[in-house]
A and B are shown apart, each in its own frame.
Chain A
Amino acid sequence: MRSDNRPPLILTAGAIAGLLFLHLPILLIFLYAFTTDERTYQFPPPGLTTQWFAVAWNRADIWPPLYLSLRVAALSTVMALILGTLCAAAMARSRFFGRDQISLLIILPIALPGIITGMSLRSAFSIMDVPFSTWTILMGHATFCIVIVFNNAVARFRRLSGSIVEASLDLGANGFQTFRHVILPNLGSALLAGGMLAFALSFDEVIVTTFTAGQQSTLPIWMLNELVRPRQRPVTNVVAIVVFVTTFVPILIAYYLTRGGSETAGGGK
C-alpha cells in the first residue's frame, strides 16, 4: 500500500466544501418557514412560530394547484410507464436499422432545454388552435417522463437473463404468460423506481408547464407567482417544504429499490 492513497488535504477540503455548498441552502427553506417576519427575508429570523402551517392549510388558493399537480403527475407517470416500458422492451436486446435514431429521439426531450420543448408545444397548439387544458400540460410531461422510465427499465431488461424467458417458453407458456409471470416480476422494482422518479420530475416541473398550462396553475406555477409577487412569504416556504418532501421521498425510495444494481436510478436526469 502506498501512502499516496490518502487524499491530499486540499482535495478533501474541496470535496467537503462542495457537498456543503450543495446541501446547506435547502436548510434555509425549513428555517424560514418558522420565521415571524412575513415581509422580508431577514436573517436571523426575529422570532419563531409554527402558525404558518395552519395559515397555509387554510389558504384556499393552494389546494386546487396541489390537486392539479398531483393529477398531472399521476397521469403522466402512468403514460410514461406504458410508453417507456414498451420502448425499453424493444430496444434492450435487439439491433435494428434506425435504433440509434430512436434512442436519440427518446432522450431529446430532456437533452434539449425545457424552454425548447415548452415553446415547441406552444407553437404547435397555436398553429392547430388547441385550447389549453389538463391534457396540454400532460402532453409535455408525459413526453419528458418517458426517458426516465426507459432508462430504468432498459437497464433491468439487459440484466434479465434471456434463459429464464426461454425456460418459460419451453415450459409451454405463451408470450403473454411469460410477460405476466416471468418478465414483469423481474422488472417490478425497476418500473416502480422509474415511476417514482417520473412522478417527482412531473410534480416539480415548471418550465415546460408555463408554456402548456394557459391560465391553469400547478403547484410549481403557484410558487413561481408567489416568488415574483410575494404575500405572506413564510406560507411559500411551507409549500416549498411540501414540494420538497413530495419529490424527495420518491427519489429516496427509487434509490433504495435499485441499489446494488448495475444502473442505480437517478444517475441521469
Chain B
Amino acid sequence: MTLAADPARDPGHDGVQPSGAILPARGLGDRVSAVFWRHPNVLLATLLALPLLWLVVVYLGSLAALLMQSFYSIDEFSGQIRREFTLSTYAELLRPANMDIIIRTVAMSAAVTLGAVVIAFPIAYFAARYARGHWKALFYLGVMLPLWSSYLVKVYAWKLILAREGIITWATDGIGASAVLNGILALPVIGGNSLSTSYIGTWLVFLYVWLPYMILPMQAALERVPQSMLEASADLGASRWQTMQTVVFPLALPGIIAGSIFTFSLTMGDYIIPQIVGSSRRFIGQAVYQLQGTAGNIPLAAAFAVIPIVIMLIYLTVARRKGAFDAL
C-alpha cells in the first residue's frame, strides 16, 4: 500500500485536524476554480473565448470579406481585381443573362419547396399521429438516414436512375408507357433530350435530396397538434377533409414554413445537382462556382453569392412573423 492511498497518513485528510471541512487551497486548480465560482462571468468568458474567436474571425470575417469583394470590380484589360469601392459589379447582375439565372434559381427553389410539402406531408402526418413504438423508431431512422447519408452518393444514384438507358426508361418500356415519358420530355421548357438533361430531372433530384429537411420540422409541428382538437372537430361534424383543412393544416403551417426555409435556401445555394443532372442553363450556384474558378472574377461571384443571403433574410423575416422559429 502506498503512502498516499492510506487515509490515516494522508496529510490532506488528516482526521486530527478539527477544521477538516474548510480545506486549505491545494494548488492552482483550486484557486482558479474559486475565482470561477465567485465570478461566474469570468468562467463564461473563458469558456466562450476560444469558440467565439474562431467563429467571429473565421466565419464573420469571411462573410465580411465576401461583402467587401462584391463591392470590388474586375479590371477588364488586366483581369486583376481592382480593390476600390464600386457598385458596378452589382449593376452587372442586372444584365438580362444574369437576371435569367436569378429568376430560374428562385423559380426552381419554389417548385422544389412545393413538391417537398406535398410528398413530406403523408410521411410526417403518419409518423406524428399513427406510428407508435417500433414503427416510430423506424420512421425516424427512415427519414434521418437519408438526411445524413452522403450527398454525392444520393446525387449519383439519381444520375443512374434518370440516364437515357437507365431504370426509368426500362420501366416505362416494360409497361408500355414510353409514349407518356416521351410526351413529358417533349414539353417545352421543362422537357429535354432525356430526364437527366431536363429541368424535371433537376427538380426530382433536388426534391429527393432536401425532402428530409421538410419532413422533420413538419412532423415536429404535427406532433404538437392535440388529439382533443381533432376529436372536437369530428364531434362538431367536420369531415376528415374539413378537419385537415381547417384544423391540422393551419397548426402545421409553422413547421411547413420552417421546413421550407431549408428546402428553399439549400436549393438556391446548390451548384452540384444542376451540374450533374440538368440542362446547360445555369443556376446561381453554378454561376458563383464558375466565376470564382475558371473566370477568376471573384467580385462578381461574391455579388452573386450575396443574392441568396438577401433573399433568405427577407424569407426569414416573413417566417419569423408566422412563428416558424418555434417549430425549428
Given known contacts A86-B51, A123-B302, A248-B149, A112 and B123 CB-to-CB distance under 8 angstroms: no
| Interface membership of B86, Cβ < 8 A | no
Give chain B interface residues in 18-54, CB to chain A under 8 Å: 23, 26, 29-30, 32-34, 36-37, 40-41, 43-44, 47-48, 50-52, 54
Q: How far is the CB of A149 from chain B (nearest CB, A)?
A: 10
| Interface membership of A155, Cβ < 8 A | no
Q: How many residues of A contact B (CB 8 A)?
A: 94
- A143 — which chain B residues lie within 8 A by C-beta? 54-55, 58-59
Partner of B211, one of A22, A106, A172, A177: A22
- B141 — which chain A residues lie within 8 A by C-beta? 255
Do B269 and A112 touch (CB < 8 A)?
yes
- The B interface, classified by DSSP as helix, strand, loop or mixed, is helix
Do B51 and A41 touch (CB < 8 A)?
no
Q: How far is the CB of A203 from chain B (nearest CB, A)?
A: 8
- The A interface, classified by DSSP as helix, strand, loop or mixed, is helix
Do B147 and A240 touch (CB < 8 A)?
no
Chain A, residue nearest B35 (CB) = A175
Partner of A25, one of B61, B68, B122, B158: B158
**Complex Cα distance A14/B130, Å?**
13
Chain A, residue nearest B126 (CB) = A15
- A22 — which chain B residues lie within 8 A by C-beta? 142-143, 146, 208, 211-212
**Complex Cα distance A120/B81, Å?**
16
**Complex Cα distance A126/B167, Å?**
45
| Interface membership of A74, Cβ < 8 A | no
The 6 sampled A-B contact pairs (Cβ below 8 Å) are A18-B123, A22-B212, A40-B165, A90-B48, A113-B268, A172-B23
Which residues of A approach B to under 8 Å, CB–CB? 2, 4-5, 7-8, 11-15, 17-19, 21-23, 25-26, 28-29, 32, 40-44, 82-84, 86-87, 89-90, 94, 96, 102, 105-106, 108-109, 111-117, 119-124, 126-127, 139, 142-143, 146, 169, 172, 174-177, 197, 200-201, 204, 206-207, 210-211, 220, 223-224, 227-228, 236-237, 240, 243-244, 247-248, 251-252, 255, 259, 264, 266-269
Q: Which 8 residue pairs across A and B have the least CB separation, nearest first?
A: A113-B269, A14-B122, A175-B33, A15-B126, A120-B62, A124-B65, A174-B33, A41-B163
Which residues of B approach A to under 8 Å, CB–CB? 23, 26, 29-30, 32-34, 36-37, 40-41, 43-44, 47-48, 50-52, 54-56, 58-63, 65-66, 68-69, 81, 119-123, 125-127, 129-130, 137, 139-161, 163, 165-167, 169-170, 208, 211-213, 216, 230-231, 234, 240, 265-266, 268-272, 275-276, 284-285, 288-289, 292, 298, 301-302, 305, 308-309, 312, 328
